[in-house]
C-alpha cells in the first residue's frame, strides 16, 4: 500500500485537494502549531503531528526529529504542501526522489517567497505554479507539471494568488497520482510521464 506524508505550515488547501483526489495521506506534520491544515487532517481522521522548528537550536536538530516522525509512517512519498521551511541537503538526501513540492510560480522564475507580488511587479503576462522534486537547491528540482494562468489588468496579489491556487490544487494531485503509479521518469534533470499525459495546464479563465 502506498502512503503519503504531507508537510504543511498553514492553511492546508493543497492538503485538502490531495485528500479530495483520493491520495492516501497517512499523516500530516506541521512545523506551526494551530496551522489550518491540521484541522482539515483531523476532520478526515488523518493523524497529525506538530514539530515546531523554534523548539530546536539548529536546522539539523529540527530536521532530525522531523525525519524521525516522517519515517514512523514509512511513506512512499513526502509531499510538501505549503511547508515554509528551507531544508538542508542532508534532509533532502534522505528522501531523494520521493519528495515533491508545489511552488506558486512558473519555475525557474520567482523562486522563494512573495511570488505573486514579484510577478505583478515584473509585469509578466503569464504566471502559474509548478510541482517539482525537492533537491538541495531551493525550488530548483526537476519539474513534474506546471499550470499557467493569465495576469490580467487590475489584478491584485490576492486575485492572482487565488487564480494560481486553483491550479495548484489541480496539478499537485495529478503529480502525486503519477508518482504513486510509478509513472514519473527523471532523466538529466527533466521529468517525463509514462503514458505521455500532458505535463502542463493552460487555464485562461479570469
Q: Which residues are catalytic?
A: 103
Judged by CB under 6 A, the number of residues near ligand GAR is: 14
Is 63 among the residues that bind ligand GAR (CB under 6 A)? no
Please select the residue that binds ligand GAR; options are 5, 12, 78, 191, rule is CB under 6 A.
12
Minimum distance from residue 81 beta carbon to ligand GAR (Å): 5
Please select the residue that binds ligand GAR; options are 40, 102, 144, 160, rule is CB under 6 A.
102
Minimum distance from residue 105 beta carbon to ligand GAR (Å): 8
Is 51 among the residues that bind ligand GAR (CB under 6 A)? no
Minimum distance from residue 61 beta carbon to ligand GAR (Å): 22
Please select the residue that binds ligand GAR; options are 4, 6, 7, 14, rule is CB under 6 A.
14
**Cell numbers at 79, concatenated:** 509531499
Please select the residue that binds ligand GAR; options are 104, 128, 141, 150, rule is CB under 6 A.
104
Where does this chain touch ligand GAR (CB under 6 A) — which range of 8-16, 70-78, 89-97, 142-150? 8-16
Is 11 among the residues that bind ligand GAR (CB under 6 A)? yes
On whether the CB atoms of residues 25 and 17 are closer than 8 A, the answer is no
Q: DSSP letters along the chain, please? A: ---EEEEESS--HHHHHHHHTT--EEEEEESSTT-HHHHHHHHTT--EEE--GGGSSSHHHHHHHHHHHHHHT--SEEEESS------HHHHHHTTTSEEEEESSSTTSS-SS-HHHHHHHHT-SEEEEEEEE--SSTT-SPEEEEEEEE--TT--HHHHHHHHHHHHHHHHHHHHHHHHTT-EEEETTEEEETT---SEEE----
Binding site for ligand GAR (CB under 6 A): 8, 10-14, 37, 81-82, 102-104, 165, 168
Amino acid at each position: 500500500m502506498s502512503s503519503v506524508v504531507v508537510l504543511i505550515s498553514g492553511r492546508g488547501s493543497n492538503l485538502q485537494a490531495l485528500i479530495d483526489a483520493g491520495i492516501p495521506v497517512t499523516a500530516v506534520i506541521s512545523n506551526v502549531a494551530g496551522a489550518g491544515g491540521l484541522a482539515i487532517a483531523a476532520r478526515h481522521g488523518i493523524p497529525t503531528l506538530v514539530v515546531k522548528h523554534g523548539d530546536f537550536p539548529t536546522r539539523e536538530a529540527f530536521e532530525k526529529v522531523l525525519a524521525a516522525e516522517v519515517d514512523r509512517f514509512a511513506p512512499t512519498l513526502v509531499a510538501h504542501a505549503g511547508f515554509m521551511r528551507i531544508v538542508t541537503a542532508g534532509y533532502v538526501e534522505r528522501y531523494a526522489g520521493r519528495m515533491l513540492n508545489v511552488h506558486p510560480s512558473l519555475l525557474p522564475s520567482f523562486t522563494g517567497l512573495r511570488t505573486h507580488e514579484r510577478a505583478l511587479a515584473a509585469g509578466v503576462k503569464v504566471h502559474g505554479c509548478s510541482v517539482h522534486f525537492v533537491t538541495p537547491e531551493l525550488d530548483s528540482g526537476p519539474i513534474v507539471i506546471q499550470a499557467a494562468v493569465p495576469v490580467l489588468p487590475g489584478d491584485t496579489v490576492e486575485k492572482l494568488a487565488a487564480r494560481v491556487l486553483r491550479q495548484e490544487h489541480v496539478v499537485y494531485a495529478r503529480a502525486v497520482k503519477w508518482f504513486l503509479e510509478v509513472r514519473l521518469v527523471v532523466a538529466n534533470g527533466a521529468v517525463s510521464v509514462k503514458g505521455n499525459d500532458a505535463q502542463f495546464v493552460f487555464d485562461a479563465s479570469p
